[in-house]
């Protein structure tokens, strides 16, 4: 068992509480519930990142990436279910199972207080990465394209800009 580091089951679910269904934990609108929901969002996104991150420990720019990698590695072989004492194991398995189930249901995913914001963040990141990639490709072509030109959505009169790709 690893020592606690702040995002363990007790930090997410409250001290002396057994992990339960994450969705049932979120009802009402008080600050503690919103904070718990934000921690769920963060942890799902961090686990998603960690499962794909190939940087060595301490080299990733995301805090706690290495910790999440250890949890991902542990979960792959854990057969202890709800009785597992490995830090973050039980809650991580529950969140991942919930997320996977929600991902298969379009109506649930959009209305789910856990998965809706996570999916939106993933979509937003994909759009940002796609736009950055296209911009870099255009710059590398050195075509002299002005991104402020009407073709690119500017309604302002055309003036020579410094935003030339």
Which run of H or of E encompasses 67? helix 65-77
**Extents of the domains making up the chain:** 9-152
Provide the β-strand partners of residue 122. Answer: none
pTM over 0.75: no
* Tens of pLDDT, residues 39-77: 999 999 999 999 999 999 889 988 899 999 999 999 999
pLDDT band at 16 (very low <50, low <70, confident <90, very high): very low
- Strand partners for 43: none
Task: Kindly write down the DSSP assignment for every residue of 97-159, as one continuous string.
Answer: HHHHHHHT-HHHHHH-TTHHHHHHHHHHHHHHHHHHHHHHHHHHHT---BTTSGGGT--SPP-
Q: Return mean pLDDT, the chain.
A: 75
Rounded distance between C-alpha atoms, residue 142 and residue 74, angstroms: 48
Q: Decide if pLDDT at 146 tops 90.
A: no
pLDDT of residue 153: 55
Short-list 8, 22, 7, 2, CA closest to 74: 2
Looking at residue 108, its pLDDT comes to 67
The answer to whether 114 and 97 have CB atoms below 8 angstroms apart is no
If you classify domain 9-152 with CATH, what class do you get?
mainly alpha
Give pLDDT tens digits for 67-104.
999 999 999 999 999 999 999 999 999 999 999 888 88
- Structure-model confidence comparison of residues 99 and 137, the more confident one: 99
């Amino acid at each position: 068992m690893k020592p606690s580091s702040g995002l363990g089951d007790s930090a997410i679910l409250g001290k002396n509480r057994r992990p339960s269904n994450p969705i049932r934990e979120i009802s009402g609108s008080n600050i503690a519930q919103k904070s718990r929901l934000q921690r769920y969002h963060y942890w799902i996104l961090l686990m998603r990142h960690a499962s794909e991150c190939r940087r060595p420990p301490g080299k990733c720019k995301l805090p706690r990436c290495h910790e999440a990698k250890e949890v991902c590695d542990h979960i792959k072989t854990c057969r202890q279910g709800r009785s597992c004492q490995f830090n973050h194991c039980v809650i991580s398995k529950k969140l991942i199972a919930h997320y996977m189930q929600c991902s298969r249901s379009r109506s649930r995913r959009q209305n789910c207080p856990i998965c809706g914001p996570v999916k939106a963040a993933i979509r937003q990141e994909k759009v940002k990465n796609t736009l950055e990639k296209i911009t870099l490709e255009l710059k590398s072509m050195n075509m002299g394209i002005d991104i402020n030109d009407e073709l690119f959505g500017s309604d302002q009169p055309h003036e020579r800009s410094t935003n030339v790709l």
